[in-house]
Amino acid sequence: MSGAKSPQTLDANNIAMEGIKVLYDYQAFAMQAYGGVSRSFVELIAHLPADVQYQIAVRRTNNEHLWDANLAPQGAHRCPFPFKSLKRYSWGNKLGKLHNHLLERLPGQRYSARVVEQGNYDVFHPTFFNPYFLKHLGDKPFVLTVHDLTYEVLNDGRQPRRDHQVQHRQLLCPRAAHIVAVSENTARDVMRFYNVPRERITVIHHGSPERHDRESLEPVCDFPYILYVGSRNYYKNFTSMLQALAPYLRDGDCRMVCTGPAWNAAERALIAQLGLEQRVVHYHATSDELYRLFNHAQLFVYPSRYEGFGIPILEAFANGCPVLLSRASCFPEIGGDAARYFDLDDDASLLSQVQTIVDDAALRQSMTACGYDRLQQFSWQTSAARLAAVYRQVCGKS
């Protein structure tokens, strides 16, 4: 983790009189050991300017980003799952979730509620959408970060039956003193679905990962491949992409490497039906291995119908990997001219772009250079400065 600070607290001994005191809660750090939401908070906190002092109301956490950045509060400790080997079984995974709920989330909420109620801060910034804090907040303002509105967009605003996140956003968005959106596209979605005025929303992009020169890392695979990263939920458009690229993968030299969850039964059946058993490879990648996969891929394809930001785009740019995106949601905003695009639901457009990029080494080299240039527009230091300006505005200290 870049730019790590030593942990701070809100004790009077380490707060400048002119400074702003910000309190962050437990939520992202209890629900994720790794992940984009918790990582973005850690990076922002690590890069805050000196006049912003902070406290993270956490006592137990397995969040590796927090520990790696040396931001875990003094007195906090890990709460390891005692039978990690069992998590490969469905019942073991359920046991792990129960363990997390009982030993991290519930105690974390109780501890955060007590710290919120003490009121020793200027602004509160919850790290997710549980509204437990409202009854403890008093007259203190809170800032809310919205990473995406996937459910709302894909369901066209229809009322969910059991989606607690949406119900919580319905409660919190109108009450927040200010909302941080991770892209202009997400900001428009917040305005559309929650009727929040644009002046109450600030767009703060994620920063860039560490750059690695093309093919500077050790390869993971010994064959040319197209890379797909992450989950394969319906809005990720993975099945349609695979069907569109099947002829190219069957007949060409290039395979497809996929990270994320193991294949489910329907995916295995589809891969067999398309004759791609030897051409599509699943890989359980660590963070280090993921960067190495980007670094040596012929192309990274991101076919989603909707994303809030698309962190893998910056990860691809940082590792010299050419990027092909669906022309949807925030992708043109983040990828800019450094990526190439295909039209959703147009198999010919996708197949043509893949063939063009993979078969043209000079084009890939040019796209790599453009990706490095584009990456310079995304800085955690700049993003943290914009977040600090939001805090000052909310506190009347701008």
Q: Is the pTM of this model over 0.85?
A: yes
Q: Who's near 277: CB < 8 A, 6+ residues apart?
A: 271
Q: State the pairing for strand pair 123-125/143-146.
A: unpaired
Tokens of 179: 């909302």
- Every domain of the chain with CATH number 3.40.50.2000 lies at 12-207+379-395, 225-375
CB–CB of 151/175 below 8 Å?
no
**What is the DSSP annotation of 221-246?**
-SS-EEEE-S---GGGTHHHHHHHHH
How far apart CA 389 and CA 75 sit, in angstroms, is 30
pLDDT in tens, 312-364: 999 999 999 999 999 999 999 999 999 999 999 999 999 999 999 999 999 99
CA angle 176, 113, 189 (to 5 degrees): 25
Nearest to 285 by CA among 213, 229, 208, 233: 229
Closest CA to 43 of 316, 395, 386, 384: 384
Domain 225-375: CATH superfamily, name plus number: Glycogen Phosphorylase B; (3.40.50.2000)
Residue 286: the pLDDT is: 85
12-207+379-395: which CATH topology? Answer: Rossmann fold (3.40.50)
Q: Tell me: the pLDDT tens digits for 245-287? A: 999 999 999 999 999 888 999 999 999 999 999 999 999 888 8
Q: Which residue has the tokens 């890069």?
A: 47
**pLDDT 10s digits, 194-248:** 999 999 999 999 999 999 999 999 999 999 999 999 999 889 999 999 999 999 9
